[in-house]
Structure 1
Amino acid sequence: TNVVYVASPGHLFGPNADRGLYKTTDGGATWTKIKYIDENTGFTDIAMDPSNSNVLYAASYQRRRSGCCFNGGGPGSGLWKSVDAGHTWTRLSEHGLPPGTYGRIAVDVSQSNPNIVYAQIEAGESGTPLEARGGGAAPAAGRGPFDWCNNGGLDRGFARGRGSAAPAETTHTPPALNPANGGLFRSNDRGRTWRLVSNCDWRPMYFSQVRVDPSNPDVVYVAGVPMAQSLDGGGTFATLDDAGGHHPPAHVDQHAIWIDPKNSKHLMIGNDGGLDVSWDRGNTWDFINTMATGLAYWVTADMRRPYYVYVGLQDNGSWGGPSATRSRNGILNSDWFGIGGGDGFQTAVDPTDYHIVYTESQNGIANRYDLRTGQSQSIRPNAGRAPAAAGA
């Protein structure tokens, strides 16, 4: 078919008319905008009923990123349905969906039973702490955080930190589900009515993806720091890492999930470290180490000849490597060396001494690295202690 739908969030900064849903009927030669809300609201997800291509579900997302701040959510965010191939749209609300303001939403339709639709909805009024809105943790009767995304894991949701293999606290009672906090909602009647099955919703602005096993409507995956898997229609989740009783992939922060339509044990995930593949429904993973998938924030070169290049990589530290080598094999992975951790951002080299390299990462971290000794020294500015109040 030549019919393709695209959900466009628009460009990152400032209002723009490129936001909306687009459709092509000629394989991409021309496009028509079929749904537009306003200059501040784009679309982030779209799913099709496999038994009727005229039935579509889509998620709109009102957001704004500025140099200092981020606003994710507002009256433009919503869950939509079309029964005429995108000509007209109905906003889905009430009938079991959460009240209040929405943020980012993920949606998917079961391929084996199109009556079943899942929507992961960020809900809650502006200013409400994430921990109280189902963002992976919520207060549990004063007994510490409760992890809705791992309530089927080794600790039954009473998290002791990632990787913990401590026995479950069977004496603790999980908190009650709260639709007002958002989470994963399920419809068994093509979106007419909904019920909350879990408050699991890892950091929605960063993840927010739900995928349904093509052969079993009760097997559901949601993206997150670790990806989480449910085998009972979203009632319980176990993270696909040590804390969930599985072997972890090579890197955290899972953003993309693909399930083989012909073999649902075959999964692929895209994360901040690249691509991982599983052949046993996420119990073990193979890291595909033959792809250059790093996201470079910044590139710097020093003054020697041949010059060396330094980069900060998203969630993969800071690195340096040569622009040329004497080897007939060219520049290899082994020619590169790490000079900093975290989210590598800007790099700089002393123009009079190429052995001194500067790196930075999140939270204002800045370091000076000496290539001769391998020593790293923090140079992060420190405001010092605030002066004592008069009379204190």
Structure 2
Amino acid sequence: MAPQPSLSNWNALKFRCIGPPRGGRVVAACGHPTDRNVFYFGGVAGGVWKTVDGGVYWENISDGYLSSSSVGAIAVSEADPNVIYVGMGETSIRGDVSWGDGVYKSTDGGKTWRNVGLKETHHIGQIRIHPKNPDVVYVAALGHAFGPNEERGVFRTTDGGQTWEKVLYVSERAGAVDLALDVTNPRNLYATIWQVHRHFWELISGGPDSGLWKSTDGGDTWTDITRNKGLPQEGILGKMGVAVSPARPDRVWAIIEAEGDKAGVYRSDDGGATWKHLTPNRDLLARPWYYMHIFADPQDPDTVYVNNLRMWKSTDGGVNWSEITTPHGDNHALWIDPQDPQRMINGNDGGACVSFNGGETWSSIYNQMTGQFYHLDVDNQIPYRVYGTQQDNSSISVPSASEKGAIPWTDCYPAGTGESGYIAVKPDDPNIVYVGAVGSSPGGGGALQRYDHRTKQIRLVTVWPELYSGWGAKDMVYRF
């Protein structure tokens, strides 16, 4: 029997970051209200990051402070930009979603953090801070994704997180996912409630507890406006997003998951009393459990944005829409500078990107160490290389060391296009990599690829040569 390494040898091993510098999913992002080059984002697997140069370089500012890594919401106080609140656990609840442990607060611009409660909310979709008082904060908490719990709904603190009050609660099976605050009158709030249950093999979205609510007294009391005139009067409702126009506070937009053509973008011009169905455009509504994000331009009452697979913009009040190209698909977060709507930050499945020209151009997403990896393998080279399948990206090969003193992006390469499957390197030939392509890749879901680094070519070697997309598990010849 070979001698076993001593415990002291194992203790001498230290983790070090080898990249790759290719961003992962971001659903929370915001900017500093007065310093134009300062922005923040929260990675769903990487904590809180800050840039002071408009997105050229990002630095993690939460390591050592957070007990969980998934960030679902982030907000900077306009009254005191040193005050930042972060809500843990995203509400885009994929089957592999990570839950969080409540709300963290910083009072020194992100240098230090402390947990201020709501640990059992698990998934936080939105945080709104009173524009004049950084101690008054509202949190939209979805609660447990995989089962019922009580710590969900809308929570409010008036003492900077020392204590919390649950001001809107519908049921143990439905939680809040979005909040909109009227900055001209912060007593007016809108909240969306989502009834949802996640299993590992399916998601059940919608039910009688989903709805749209309004408060006119700072959250003390709430009115259910779900079935107000112009909104769907019957049928199941699912996930919703809501936004208030700062330029015209009685104008409210909602994007609603509903049955058939009742789904779509709605607008109210009287504070939610009555509504008009503007469009059932499916480009705005794809995979509603994953998106349903709507944002109002802070200065133009006719301009509104929707994030989905693509980013969309309307300049006629929400009737017609045009695409804004972003560096990566699957768009989630958007923060727009109240003083300059050309300055914004977008969060998508490839990372966070900054724009100073209204989305015409964006900063790079190849400068963020926040990728989510499903599976890993290593080869037998010296120095060895590490292989992984990254969420919503290709599989990738990264060197474990480099003669350059660092590991740049140019030393990495895509080893196939498999997104979320297993990956294995041929032991006697590191040029050959097998990748399970369970995602958007050639061959469809369930494909198995053989990548040859000498030719840079992919060959499908799936065990049964048919596309599995749309098949039920019972109908497949082989299941893995």
Distance 2:151 2:194 in 1: 13
Distance 2:309 2:366 in 1: 20
Corresponding residue SS for 1:29: coil
Report deviation, 1:202: 2.1
Other-structure match for 1:190: 271
2:212 to 56, 59, 79: 79
Aligned counterparts, 1:140-179, within 5 A? none
Distance 1:384 1:263 in 2: 52
User: What do the CA deviations read for 1:270-307 (whole angstroms, capped 9, x no partner)?
Assistant: 11222333333334444354323422223333344433
Stretches of structure 1 lacking an aligned partner (at least 5 in a row): 125-131, 134-180, 241-247, 386-392
User: What do the CA deviations read for 1:151-183 (whole angstroms, capped 9, x no partner)?
Assistant: xxxxxxxxxxxxxxxxxxxxxxxxxxxxxx221
Report deviation, 1:69: 1.6
Report deviation, 1:368: 2.5
Distance 2:418 2:322 in 1: 26
Q: Is residue 111 of structure 1 aligned with residue 276 of structure 2?
A: no
Other-structure match for 2:417: 341
Q: Is residue 237 of structure 1 aligned with residue 372 of structure 2?
A: no
Other-structure match for 1:376: 458
Distance 2:216 2:353 in 1: 36
Q: Size of the alignment, in residue pairs?
A: 323
Aligned counterparts, 1:48-59, within 5 A? 48-59=181-192
Distance 1:42 1:298 in 2: 32
Other-structure match for 1:217: 301
Report deviation, 1:256: 1.1
Conservation of the 8 A alpha-carbon contact between 1:222 and 1:229:
yes
Distance 1:351 1:22 in 2: 54
Conservation of the 8 A alpha-carbon contact between 1:249 and 1:287:
no
Q: Is residue 302 of structure 1 aligned with residue 379 of structure 2?
A: yes
Report deviation, 1:107: 0.3
Cα 1:378/1:14, change in 2 over 3 Å: farther
Report deviation, 1:214: 0.4
Corresponding residue SS for 1:13: coil
Other-structure match for 2:391: 314
Distance 1:378 1:288 in 2: 29
Distance 1:199 1:74 in 2: 20
Conservation of the 8 A alpha-carbon contact between 1:356 and 1:371:
yes
Other-structure match for 2:26: none
Report deviation, 1:339: 1.0
Corresponding residue SS for 2:149: coil
Corresponding residue SS for 2:389: strand
Letter in 1 for 2:298: P
Cα 1:22/1:302, change in 2 over 3 Å: farther
Give the TM-score of the pair, scaled to structure 2: 0.63
Corresponding residue SS for 2:295: strand
Other-structure match for 2:327: 250
Report deviation, 1:106: 0.4
User: What do the CA deviations read for 1:305-325 (whole angstroms, capped 9, x no partner)?
Assistant: 433211111111100111122
Cα 1:107/1:383, change in 2 over 3 Å: same
Q: Is residue 270 of structure 1 aligned with residue 352 of structure 2?
A: no
Cα 1:349/1:10, change in 2 over 3 Å: farther
Larger relative contact order, structure 1 or 2 (CA cutoff 8 Å, min sep 6): 2
Other-structure match for 1:244: none
Other-structure match for 2:20: none
Distance 1:32 1:17 in 2: 13
Distance 1:294 1:271 in 2: 12
Stretches of structure 2 lacking an aligned partner (at least 5 in a row): 1-133, 440-444, 468-480
Distance 2:382 2:172 in 1: 49
Distance 1:366 1:249 in 2: 30
Distance 1:278 1:7 in 2: 27
Distance 1:77 1:26 in 2: 30
Distance 2:237 2:409 in 1: 44
Conservation of the 8 A alpha-carbon contact between 1:368 and 1:377:
yes
User: What do the CA deviations read for 1:160-211 (whole angstroms, capped 9, x no partner)?
Assistant: xxxxxxxxxxxxxxxxxxxxx2211111111111111222332222221111
Other-structure match for 1:331: 407
Mean alpha-carbon deviation: is it higher for 318-327 or for 303-312?
A: 303-312
Distance 2:397 2:173 in 1: 39
Distance 2:232 2:341 in 1: 31
Other-structure match for 1:63: 196
Cα 1:281/1:323, change in 2 over 3 Å: same
Report deviation, 1:79: 0.3
Conservation of the 8 A alpha-carbon contact between 1:123 and 1:182:
yes
Conservation of the 8 A alpha-carbon contact between 2:389 and 2:418:
no
Please give the root-mean-square deviation of Cα atoms over the aligned residues, in Å. Answer: 2.3
Corresponding residue SS for 1:340: coil
Distance 1:50 1:260 in 2: 13
Report deviation, 1:30: 3.4
Conservation of the 8 A alpha-carbon contact between 1:109 and 1:116:
yes
Distance 1:185 1:354 in 2: 54
Cα 1:342/1:10, change in 2 over 3 Å: farther
Corresponding residue SS for 2:187: coil
Report deviation, 1:91: 1.0
Distance 1:285 1:325 in 2: 30
Distance 2:149 2:333 in 1: 26
Corresponding residue SS for 1:287: coil
Cα 1:302/1:76, change in 2 over 3 Å: farther
Q: Is residue 96 of structure 1 aligned with residue 180 of structure 2?
A: no
Report deviation, 1:352: 5.5
Mean alpha-carbon deviation: is it higher for 207-216 or for 284-293?
A: 284-293
Conservation of the 8 A alpha-carbon contact between 1:202 and 1:223:
no
Fraction of identical pairs, as percent = 41
Letter in 1 for 2:390: L
Conservation of the 8 A alpha-carbon contact between 1:46 and 1:59:
yes
Q: Is residue 202 of structure 1 aligned with residue 285 of structure 2?
A: yes
Report deviation, 1:235: 1.7
